[in-house]
């Protein structure tokens, strides 16, 4: 059995930190090899070394047994290595085809032969079952399709070894299923895959072997069939991890959020929320399940005042908050953990400390008569950072420099601390490792038990099933079903989300 890729004793340093220290990774021909580790363990760094974006300080890389120097992505391409990055490397304003051919365009008399390129894209997408619209602009297509474009990009360049960096973090369950199918097709076609994921279930499902790294050091490689999720988790974290979050049955009280006949349009004036009705009671977690793009984002934006309500009513504790400004909504008692933490949740160039008072800076004690009181602000920030275990060099560090997990913990700390009546949590654990997820889940349940209403939006069925006391399924802009987690299965939920109880999932 030969190795297609061997990374031997790799060391990669960043100023002040050793991201990879003596890591060895050996990938066999035709296998799906998992790379597992906590946030910041050094997985992406290792893969960027393999892809030629970073140069290692030490170590050797062999491709098909031959020692190579991968100085830049071009070299990696030539060696048949392709990478699907954690953050997509797609140009928003370009079409699918343009993105795929970028850098190695077919030419005709000095111009880009776009016709030929589109044909080639069609052909590849047929071959591997990667449905894309070659002429669509990236910004107009779903995240799932964007990912397929990323995969096509590597295949177009003739990649034999594909690296997937957290491909499932941004996908809906349906899309994850499709992706797993695609990976199997790729293996059948003779490719090898390195898969980075925090989801142990996926590793168990598709991977042959798994290499674990912890804090930049290689822990070892295990045969997946010979292990179980618990073992993997403890290898990764270095301690025992509990999975399903323990919680008492909910004790719902009065109605906190009541939505009646809500209609919302998106930026292009398309109706996204249509006649939606929903109630969330104090002391319960309502999970909002649904495939991305069924109006969930618009619903949340409408509740929080970020988007105009077309018609209908949103009531909080019996008072209308319809079309109030975000500030008034916040002050009325709503906290919002936004889906896109970089875009909405944080001012990345502010110190983390100042980010902790993003909605409350104008209140005492953080300011008085319009003048900021930094001492109070930073005292508050320090307390929150401690309580929520946000790992940062100091409160004065810019938010930008924190890892995603720690940024998320900071946001949750800030939002929960305001003692709101309603917490809206949109994908609060996206891209986080199991340790961080565990922590955040515990916090949300704690808040529920304190009598707050929680509206949880998630594309992870696991999370919905584990956390919710009641599940509202959203499809086509309205709530099509409400179920209790104990009365349903993931299967049934999947069907509901696809808009049909009868048909098999995937038929949309």
Ligand X SMILES: Nc1ncnc2c1ncn2[C@@H]1O[C@H](COP(=O)(O)OP(=O)(O)OP(=O)(O)O)[C@@H](O)[C@H]1O
Closest approach, Cβ 234 to Mg ion, in A, equals 21
Q: Which is nearer to ligand X, 162 or 390 (CB)?
A: 390
The residues facing 28 across adjacent strands are 3
User: Which one of the spans 33-41, 88-96, 241-249, 376-384 is the region binding ligand X (CB under 6 A)?
Assistant: 33-41
Question: How many chain residues are in contact with ligand X, going by CB under 6 A?
Answer: 18
Report the residue from 127, 347, 383, 401 that binds ligand X according to the rule CB under 6 A: 401
Tell me how far the alpha carbon of residue 405 is from its chain's centroid: 11
- The encoded tokens of residue 233 equal 């988790």
Please answer whether residues 222 and 254 qualify as being in contact, where contact means their C-beta atoms are separated by less than 8 angstroms. no
Give which of Mg ion, another protein, ligand X, none residue 17 binds (C-beta under 5 to 8 Å, depending on kind): ligand X
Whether the bond between 8 and the residue before it is cis, its omega within 30 degrees of 0, is no
User: Which one of the spans 32-40, 174-182, 280-288, 410-418 is the region binding ligand X (CB under 6 A)?
Assistant: 32-40
Q: Which is nearer to Mg ion, 146 or 294 (CB)?
A: 146
Give which of Mg ion, another protein, ligand X, none residue 405 binds (C-beta under 5 to 8 Å, depending on kind): ligand X
Coil/strand/helix, residue 113: coil
First to last CA, the chain: 41
Q: For the chain, how are helix, strand and coil distributed in percent, rounded to 5?
A: 35, 25, 40
Query: What residue ranges bind another protein (CB under 8 A)?
Result: 48, 51, 53-54, 72-74, 77, 83, 85, 87-94, 98-99, 101-105, 107, 110-112, 153, 304, 306, 325-331, 336, 338, 343-350, 354, 358-359, 361-362, 367, 370-372
Instruction: Give the separation between CA 275 and CA 258, rounded to whole angstroms.
Output: 13
User: Which one of the spans 80-88, 115-123, 420-428, 463-471 is the region binding Mg ion (CB under 5 A)?
Assistant: 80-88
Closest CA to 118 of 104, 100, 131: 100
408 binds Mg ion (CB under 5 A): no
Please answer whether residues 50 and 26 qualify as being in contact, where contact means their C-beta atoms are separated by less than 8 angstroms. no
Residue labelled with tokens 């047929």: 126
Closest approach, Cβ 165 to ligand X, in A, equals 7
Q: For ligand X, which residue has the nearest CB?
A: 404
Q: Which is nearer to another protein, 40 or 494 (CB)?
A: 40
The CA distances from residue 490 to 170, 187, 205, 463, 466, in Å, are 19, 27, 16, 11, 11
SS3 for 364-426, per residue?
Answer: CCCEECCEECHHHHHHHHHHHHHHCCCCCCCCCCEHHHCCHHHHHHHHHHHHHHCCCCEEEEE
Instruction: Give the separation between CA 437 and CA 52, rounded to whole angstroms.
Output: 31
Give which of ligand X, Mg ion, another protein, none residue 507 binds (C-beta under 5 to 8 Å, depending on kind): none
Tell me which residues in 232-251 interact with Mg ion (CB under 5 A): none
Q: Which is nearer to ligand X, 53 or 124 (CB)?
A: 53
Tell me which residues in 38-57 interact with Mg ion (CB under 5 A): 44
Closest approach, Cβ 142 to ligand X, in A, equals 20
44 binds ligand X (CB under 6 A): yes
User: Which one of the spans 69-77, 81-89, 252-260, 288-296 is the region binding Mg ion (CB under 5 A)?
Assistant: 81-89
CA atoms within 13 A on the CB side of 219: 22
Instruction: Give the separation between CA 286 and CA 181, rounded to whole angstroms.
Output: 31
Count of C-beta atoms within a 10 Å radius of residue 61: 22
Q: Which is nearer to another protein, 53 or 180 (CB)?
A: 53
Give which of Mg ion, ligand X, another protein, none residue 8 binds (C-beta under 5 to 8 Å, depending on kind): none
Give which of another protein, ligand X, Mg ion, none residue 383 binds (C-beta under 5 to 8 Å, depending on kind): none
Q: Which is nearer to another protein, 146 or 256 (CB)?
A: 146
Instruction: Give the separation between CA 476 and CA 200, rounded to whole angstroms.
Output: 31
Residue labelled with tokens 């140069």: 55
Q: Which is nearer to Mg ion, 167 or 333 (CB)?
A: 167
Residue labelled with tokens 């004065």: 396
Closest approach, Cβ 156 to another protein, in A, equals 10
Burial class (CB in 10 A: 0-12, 13-18, 19+), 62: middle
42 binds ligand X (CB under 6 A): yes
Give which of ligand X, another protein, Mg ion, none residue 42 binds (C-beta under 5 to 8 Å, depending on kind): ligand X
Closest approach, Cβ 89 to another protein, in A, equals 4
Question: Which residues of the shown chain bind Mg ion in the complex (CB under 5 A)?
Answer: 44, 86
Question: Which residues of the shown chain bind ligand X in the complex (CB under 6 A)?
Answer: 14, 17, 19, 37, 39-45, 86, 401-405, 431
């Amino acid at each position: 059995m030969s190795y297609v890729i061997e990374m031997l004793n790799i060391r990669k340093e960043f100023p002040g930190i050793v991201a990879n220290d003596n890591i060895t990774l050996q990938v066999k021909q035709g296998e799906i090899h998992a790379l597992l580790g906590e946030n910041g363990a050094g997985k992406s760094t290792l893969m960027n070394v393999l892809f030629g974006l970073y140069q290692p300080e030490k170590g050797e890389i062999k491709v098909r047994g031959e020692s190579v120097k991968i100085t830049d992505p071009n070299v990696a391409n030539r060696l048949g290595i392709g990478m699907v990055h954690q953050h997509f490397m797609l140009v928003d304003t370009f079409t699918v085809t343009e993105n795929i051919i970028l850098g190695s365009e077919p030419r005709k008399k000095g111009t880009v032969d776009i016709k030929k390129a589109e044909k080639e894209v069609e052909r590849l997408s047929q071959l591997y079952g990667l449905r894309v619209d070659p002429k669509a602009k990236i910004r107009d297509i779903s995240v799932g399709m964007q990912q397929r474009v990323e995969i096509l990009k590597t295949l177009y360049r003739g990649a034999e070894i594909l690296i997937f960096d957290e491909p499932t973090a941004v996908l809906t369950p349906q899309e994850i299923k499709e992706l797993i199918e695609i990976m199997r097709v790729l293996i059948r076609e003779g490719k090898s895959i390195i898969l980075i994921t925090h989801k142990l279930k996926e590793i168990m499902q598709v991977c042959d072997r798994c290499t674990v790294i912890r804090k930049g050091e290689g822990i070892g490689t295990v045969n997946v069939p010979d292990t179980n999720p618990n073992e993997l988790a403890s290898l990764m974290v270095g301690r025992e991890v509990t999975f399903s979050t323990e919680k008492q049955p909910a004790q719902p009280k009065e109605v906190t959020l009541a939505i009646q006949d809500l209609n919302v349009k998106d930026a292009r004036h398309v109706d996204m929320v249509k006649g939606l009705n929903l109630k969330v009671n104090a002391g319960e977690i309502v999970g909002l399940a649904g495939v991305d793009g069924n109006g969930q984002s618009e619903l949340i934006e409408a509740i929080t005042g970020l988007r105009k309500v077309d018609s209908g009513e949103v009531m909080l504790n019996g008072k209308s908050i319809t079309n109030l400004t975000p500030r008034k909504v916040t002050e009325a008692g709503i906290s919002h953990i936004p889906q896109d933490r970089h875009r909405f949740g944080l001012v990345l160039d502010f110190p983390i400390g100042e980010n902790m008072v993003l909605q409350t800076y104008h209140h005492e004690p953080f300011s008085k008569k319009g003048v900021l009181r930094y001492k109070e602000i930073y005292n508050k920030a320090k307390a929150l950072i401690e309580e929520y275990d946000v790992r940062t060099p100091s409160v004065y560090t810019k938010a930008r420099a924190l890892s995603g997990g720690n940024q998320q913990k900071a946001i949750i700390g800030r939002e929960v601390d305001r003692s709101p009546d309603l917490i809206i949590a949109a994908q609060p654990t996206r891209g986080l490792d199991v340790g961080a997820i565990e922590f955040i889940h515990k916090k949300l349940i704690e808040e529920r038990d304190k009598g707050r209403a929680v509206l949880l939006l998630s594309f992870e069925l696991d999370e919905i099933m584990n956390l919710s006391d009641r599940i509202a399924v959203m499809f086509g802009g309205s709530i099509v079903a409400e179920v209790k987690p104990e009365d349903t299965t993931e299967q049934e939920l999947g069907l509901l989300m696809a808009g049909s109880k009868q048909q098999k999932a995937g038929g949309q």
